Each structure stands twice: as structure tokens, then as C-alpha cells.
Amino acid sequence: MEKLLAVRYPPYSDAKLSQFRQMTDKKPNFDRDGKETRGVAYWLTFLGGMGSDGPKGALFKWATVALFAVSVKRYINTGALPSLADLTLWKKKGVN
């Protein structure tokens, strides 16, 4: 916090000016040809989020993939797709 406030008070030096510029200047995310540069963090976020804009969209997509994987595994093992009645979360205790 001190560094953020240090640039506001004299004596104003070249070190404070360069520190202020490092904190406030944004760097462009494009190269000389105008193409957007994308680093490793961008691609990990893009792939992890499956191209969604926010965490809710990513969670929905991962839940959909998980449900699809469970359905395929169930179909391969038993030859029938799972139904909502088969889920143990919705069964009442003591009732078969």
C-alpha cells in the first residue's frame, strides 16, 4: 500500500515516476500486425472454461460433460441410460 501512495507525495523522482507508470500503463495485447497475442494463461483459461465467458457457463458445461460421461458409462455397462429416479440423491431413506 505504501508504494501506491508514495507516488502522490514529494519528492518526485524518476524512480517514483517509473513505478507509477508500471502500475498504471496497460500493455497492448496485439502484435505489429494487429493480431491478438494469447499466452499460456489465456489458453489454459479458455480450455478449462470450455470457451465460456464466466464461471457459471464453465460450470454448466463441465456438469453437462460429466452427465454425458456418466450416461455413456452406464449405457455401456448396462445397456440402458440412467433416469432421474435412479439417482440416490432423490430417493427417500428407507424406501426402495
Most confident of 11-15, 22-26, 66-70: 66-70
Note whether 57 and 49 are within 8 A (CB): yes
Average pLDDT over residues 57-61: 92
Domain boundaries, the chain: 1-37, 44-83
Question: Model pTM greater than 0.75?
Answer: no
Tell me how far apart the alpha carbons of residues 43 and 20 are, in angstroms, rounded to a whole number.
30
At 84-95, the pLDDT tens digits run 666 666 556 655
SS3 state of residue 15? helix
pLDDT at 46: 86
